[in-house]
Every structure is written in structure tokens, then in C-alpha cells.
Amino acid sequence: MSVVFSTLAFIFLICVLVTIHELGHLIVARANGVFAEIFSIGFGPVLCEKTDKYGTKWRLSLIPAGGYVKMFGDADATSVKESMPSGYTEDDMNKMSLHRKKPWQKLLVAVAGPVFNLVFAVVVLVCLGLIRGVPVHTSAISVVDEASLAYISGLRNGDIVVKANGADISDFDVLREQITLSAGKELILEVKRRDKTENITIKMYKEEDNKIVPVNVIGIMPGETLYKKTSLINTITSSVYTTYFLAVNNISAILKIITNKASTKNVGGIISIFKIASKSAEAGFTSFFWMMAVLSTILGAINLLPIPVLDGGTVVISAIEWIFGRPLNKKLIETIFMIGFVIIAGLMLLGIWNDLSNCKFFVWLENLFK
């Protein structure tokens, strides 16, 4: 697949997911009387702009790496500070500023973005289910890349996993469960490759700083997907369960990394997302939109984590203010959000570092100066 097509697929994926997320914030904010000054898809220089009947400026910006909603009174697109816009009064601020709203209203606005992502994922999966059928992943696998634990351990594209630690593997979901259960131990797979059967042992742990760190990701994806037509009710039920399963597992994986129960090498960055978008687009319409639903679920789930800067952090702060009946000290909130920013920035940098390491960038850089 060409780099241009892969890039366009990646940009489309990111723009759709971010737009859905920010629309959630916008719609609920408007429903609570908050004025949204700007809704931007992308960052940086504005390519085009149109103002709607509510006075919101809708922008398409040059850098397609996300987007934002600027609420009335925000100092900038991501600020928790409040500033008095020129030409407005205190009464205007009380009516239209998100920061002046009741805690329960701020909570609703904050949680709306992640919820919209989760609902969008369910809708996409239901539509795919009605068009193609509910996906059933066989036990055939696809290895993500040559730097993955799966490839290093001997797994290859097209391998069919028959057993894992003695348990029969009927589909990819059962295999995924066995991988999770094997974290910190050895995973012994019985694999069918062409006409031969092989046993492959994968060490589900790594040594870091003289410590054994469990690993619960080996770098594989479903290699074959069958689609089964079923009723509307079953399609909706399956879609909701899949979204719930993905959300819970991703939150669990992040918490394990934070508590040092899983390796930090499992954290991926923008390059990983680019690879996923490219591979799914190459596999076709169904695969691409399936991956869109998966990433929308992950985006929604991660944003619900109670970390300042993320929506979940705002939910927690708003809940505390609601319970105690008074706003928290502004300096305290700014300090909390700064800590959250450092945490998120650190995770992003870690993801980029891991991506570059997996791409052998540092090896290439070292060879360059030899």
C-alpha cells in the first residue's frame, strides 16, 4: 500500500474519532447553556472557517493531529483558567461560561466526549454486523511486526493456534484470555503451520532493572475473520459486549503498566496507530471500520481514567465540588492539572520512544555515526 493512501487513512481515522469526541462535549455543553466559541478539526493555521447560527466558529485547520472545542471563557483551547473575553460582562460569564456552571453540569460536559466515543463504537459495530454479520475471529493469527514478542518467539502469519497451555483454542477471544492469564509465566502454544504441528514457548515476562516484569501483550492480531448473520438483538448485544470488553481490558492494561505489573514497552504511540490504520485500511472496508470502532473504544476508555487533563480527571474534580458544595481552589486545580499534564506527556513520550525502538530507529542512528 502506498504511503499516501496509508497517511490519508490515518488522517481520516484520527479526524473522525476526535470529531465524535469533541461533538459530545459540544452538544452537552450547549444543552447546559455553555457557549462554544470554536470547534476545530486539526490544529495550527486555519484552512477554512464558518460561523453557525449559534455563533460557534467551525474550523478546519492545517495539522490533522486531533481537534478541540474552545468554550466561552477559556484562556485557550485546553485551558482550565477563566478569562473575560473583550466586550462581555460578568452576567455573560455567569450565563455562558463552563467554569461558572454547577458541578453536575461540568461533570456531564466532561463525560460526554468519552461516552460519545463508546456509543459511536457500538453504532459502527452494529452497522457492520447488519451489513456483513457479527465477526467471529478464528484461532489463525497475524503477527504485528518482526520486533514483536510473538515473532521473536517463533510465531508467523497464518499460524493456527490449536492449544494454549493445554487448553483447546476455538477462536481468537479464547486465545486472548489465555495470553492474559499467562502474564508473568510461560505460554506454551501448540501451533498448526501448513501440515505440521509445532510447540512454541513464549516467556510472558521481561527483566528490567533486575526485576521480573509481567507481559500480557505478544503482538498478534486475528488472522482470519468469519462473519455470521444473526438477529438485530443479537447484533446489538454482541456490539455492546465487544465495546465493554475492549474498554475494560484497555483500562486494566493501563493500570497494570502504571502499577508496574506490566512492561512499559507495551505502550504504543502515534507510529503504532499509523501502522494499525494502514494495515486495517489495506485489509478492506470492514477491517478499517472495525478498527475504527476499536480505537474509538480505546479513546473513550482512556479519557475516563481519573487523571487530570483527561476528561476523567475533570469528572472527579466536578464530583468533589458537587459533594462539598463549593469549588476547589483555583491554584489547587491548576497544580493538579499540571501534574496530570506531566503524566500524560510522559506516557506520550514513552509511546513515541517505544515506537522508534521497534522501528530500529536508534540502531539506524547509532550506525549513522559509526
> What nine digits make up the cell of 240?
455492546
Q: What is the mean pLDDT of residues 307-320?
A: 87
* Residue with the larger pLDDT of the pair 102 and 328: 102
Please check the confidence at residue 205 and state whether its pLDDT lies above 70. Answer: yes
Distance CA(316)–CA(271), nearest Å, equals 31
Report d(CA 18, CA 40) in Å as an integer: 10
CA angle 52, 53, 59 (to 5 degrees): 10
Is the predicted pLDDT of residue 347 greater than 60, yes or no?
yes
- Give the pLDDT confidence of 46-86 residue by residue, as tens digits: 999 999 998 899 999 988 877 889 888 776 555 666 666 66
- In degrees and rounded to multiples of 5, residue 182 shows phi and psi of -90, 0
Name every residue whose Cβ is closer than 8 Å to that of residue 155 and which is 6 or more positions away in sequence: 141, 143, 189, 191, 200, 202, 218, 220
245-254 per-position pLDDT tens digit: 889 888 887 7
139-223 belongs to CATH 3.40.50.2300? no
The domain ranges of the chain are 102-133+230-370, 139-223
What pLDDT is stored for residue 361 in this prediction? 63
82 a catalytic residue: no
Q: Which of 22, 282, 321, 366 is catalytic?
A: 22
- In this predicted structure, what is the pLDDT of residue 158? 87
Q: What is the pLDDT of residue 274?
A: 80
Q: Report the mean per-residue pLDDT for the chain.
A: 84
Q: For residue 24, what pLDDT is reported?
A: 95
CA distance 24 to 128: 22
Distance CA 38, CA 50 (A): 10
